[in-house]
C-alpha cells in the first residue's frame, strides 16, 4: 500500500487544526498515566510525547498509508504504540505495573487496522450478551460505578455520539466526557481463551 | 475481529472524534494545564515541524528535478542537439573539466548530475524541453 509523500503530509497538516489534534493527543496521553507526577515520565512532559509522535508520524519514521486510514486515526495509533513502548521500557526497568497480558485497558484498544490480527483467534464463540455481562462484571470488580457501566453499555450497543449518550443518561455532555475518561481507566478481558475441563 | 469488540472499539473512536474542542481544552485546564502557555509552545513546535517538512520536501523535489534534468540532458547530448551541447560545454569550461569530458555523448547521467547540480534546474529543464520540442 502506498505511503504518503512529504508534500501530502504538509497538505494534511495545513488542512487540519494541529493544536486541536495536539490537545486531544495530550488528553489521551494523560489518561494513559495513572501517576500524573513527573516520577515515571523520565523527564518528559505530557506534550513531549505528543510532539515526538507527531514528528515521527510526519517525517517518515512512521509510514502513513492514506488508503488504509485517516491521518488522525494514524496519529492516535502511533501515539498508542509509542506509549506502549514507553511503558514496556519502564516495566523492564522494574516497574511494578499490575497489567496482565490477557487484559486490555479500554483506552488501549488497538485502532489501526493494519496492526490488527488478520485471522480470527480460534477461541470458543460466546454469545455477545454473555460476553457483555462478563465485561460489565469485570468493570464492576474494578470499581466502575453505575454511570460508567451505563456508558459502556451505550458504547457496546453502538451508541457513540456524546449528545445521544448525554440524552440517554440525562446528563450534560461534559459530565459524559468525564465519565468516559473514568471508564477508559478500566480493563476488560478480550479474547480470553476458554479451556475445556476434559483436557485437565 | 470479534464483532462486539469491534463495536466497542469503533464506538470509543467515534465518541472521541465527536467531543468538541472547547470541552477538550476545558478538561486540560481542569488538569492544571495553562492553555495560553500551551498554545505558545504548540505554535513553536508547529513552526519547527512545518519548516523541517518543507525543507525535506524541497530537497526531495530538487533530487527529482536533478534526476529528470540529467536524464533529459543525456538524451539531448546523445542526439547531438546544439543548444544542450553548447550549454554543457559552457558549464564544463566554467568548471575547468574539459580534459575529463572530451566526448559529451559518452557522459553518464551521474557525471551530468554532478555538473548541473548547482545550476538553475528549472531553467535547464525548460531549455531541454524546448530543444526536444523544436527537434
* Chain B residue with the nearest C-alpha to that of A6: B57
Cβ distance A158 to B10 less than 8 Å, yes or no, reads yes
* Chain A residue with the nearest C-alpha to that of B42: A19
- Note whether A33 contacts B: Cβ–Cβ < 8 A: no
Mean pLDDT of the region A54-67? 94
What's residue A48's pLDDT? 94
Structural contact between residues A4 and A65, judged by C-beta atoms closer than 8 angstroms: yes
How buried is residue A117: exposed, middle or buried, by Cβ count under 10 Å (0-12/13-18/19+)? exposed
The C-alpha cell that represents B10 in the structure block: 469503533
Using CA atoms, how far apart are residues A26 and A102, in angstroms rounded to an integer? 27
DSSP A136-185: HHHHHHTT--HHHHHHHHHHHTT---HHHHHHHHT--HHHHHHHHHHHTT
* Greater pLDDT, B77 or B105: B77
What's residue A34's pLDDT? 72
What's residue B80's pLDDT? 84
* Greater pLDDT, A32 or A112: A32
In this predicted structure, which of A21-30, A46-55, A63-72, B99-108 has the lowest mean pLDDT? B99-108
- Note whether B22 contacts A: Cβ–Cβ < 8 A: no
pLDDT band, residue B104 (cuts 50/70/90):
confident
Structural contact between residues B15 and A162, judged by C-beta atoms closer than 8 angstroms: yes
- Write the residue in A20, A54, A106 that is nearest to B12 by C-beta: A106
- Write the residue in B27, B33, B46 that is nearest to A177 by C-beta: B27
* Chain B residue with the nearest C-alpha to that of A60: B53
pTM to 2 decimal places: 0.73
What's residue A132's pLDDT? 87
What's residue B89's pLDDT? 84
Using CA atoms, how far apart are residues A192 and B5, in angstroms rounded to an integer? 12
Given a cut of 50, is residue B18 above it in pLDDT?
yes
Mean pLDDT of the region A139-167? 92
In this predicted structure, which of A49-63, B11-25, B31-45 has the lowest mean pLDDT? B11-25
- Note whether A172 contacts B: Cβ–Cβ < 8 A: no
Q: Which residue in B97, B112, B3, B29 sits closest to B67, CA to CA?
A: B112
- Write the residue in B1, B46, B54 that is nearest to A18 by C-beta: B46
Structure confidence by residue, pLDDT tens digits, A2-45? 999 999 999 999 999 999 999 999 998 988 887 766 667 778 88
Q: How far is A60 from chain B (nearest CA, A)?
A: 10
Cα angle A174, A177, A181; round to 5: 140
Using CA atoms, how far apart are residues A48 and B63, in angstroms rounded to an integer? 32
pLDDT band, residue A1 (cuts 50/70/90):
confident
Q: Is the dihedral of CA B48, B49, B54, B55 positive or negative?
A: positive
> What average pLDDT does chain A have?
80
The C-alpha cell that represents A194 in the structure block: 476458554
Amino acid at each position: 500500500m502506498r505511503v504518503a509523500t512529504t508534500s501530502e503530509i504538509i497538505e494534511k497538516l495545513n488542512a487540519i487544526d494541529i493544536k486541536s489534534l495536539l490537545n486531544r493527543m495530550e488528553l489521551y496521553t494523560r489518561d494513559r498515566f495513572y501517576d500524573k507526577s513527573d516520577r515515571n515520565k523520565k523527564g518528559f512532559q505530557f506534550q513531549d510525547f505528543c510532539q515526538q509522535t507527531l514528528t515521527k508520524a510526519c517525517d517518515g519514521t512512521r509510514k502513513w498509508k492514506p488508503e488504509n486510514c485517516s491521518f488522525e486515526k494514524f496519529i492516535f495509533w502511533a501515539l498508542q504504540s509509542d506509549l506502549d513502548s514507553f511503558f514496556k521500557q519502564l516495566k523492564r526497568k522494574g516497574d511494578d505495573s499490575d497489567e496482565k497480558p490477557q487484559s486490555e485497558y479500554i483506552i488501549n484498544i488497538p485502532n489501526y487496522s493494519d496492526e490488527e490480527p488478520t485471522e480470527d483467534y480460534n477461541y470458543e464463540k460466546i454469545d455477545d450478551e454473555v460476553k457483555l455481562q462478563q465485561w460489565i462484571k469485570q468493570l464492576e470488580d474494578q470499581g466502575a460505578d453505575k454511570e460508567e457501566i451505563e456508558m459502556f453499555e451505550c458504547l457496546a450497543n453502538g451508541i457513540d455520539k456524546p449528545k445521544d449518550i448525554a440524552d440517554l443518561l440525562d446528563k450534560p455532555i461534559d459530565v459524559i466526557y468525564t465519565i468516559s475518561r473514568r471508564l477508559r481507566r478500566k480493563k476488560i478481558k478480550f479474547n480470553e481463551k476458554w479451556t475445556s475441563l476434559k483436557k485437565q | 475481529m470479534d464483532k462486539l469488540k469491534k463495536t466497542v472499539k469503533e464506538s470509543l473512536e467515534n465518541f472521541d472524534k465527536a467531543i468538541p474542542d472547547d470541552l477538550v481544552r476545558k478538561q486540560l485546564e481542569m488538569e492544571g494545564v495553562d492553555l495560553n502557555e500551551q498554545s505558545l509552545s504548540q505554535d513553536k513546535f508547529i513552526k519547527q515541524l512545518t519548516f523541517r517538512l518543507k525543507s525535506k520536501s524541497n530537497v526531495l523535489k530538487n533530487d527529482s528535478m536533478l534526476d529528470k534534468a540529467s536524464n533529459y540532458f543525456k538524451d539531448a547530448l546523445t542526439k547531438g542537439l546544439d543548444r544542450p551541447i553548447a550549454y554543457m560545454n559552457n558549464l564544463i569550461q566554467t568548471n575547468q573539466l574539459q580534459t575529463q569530458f572530451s566526448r559529451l555523448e559518452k557522459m553518464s547521467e551521474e557525471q551530468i548530475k554532478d555538473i548541473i547540480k548547482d545550476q538553475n534546474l528549472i531553467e535547464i529543464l525548460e531549455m531541454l524541453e524546448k530543444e526536444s520540442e523544436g527537434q
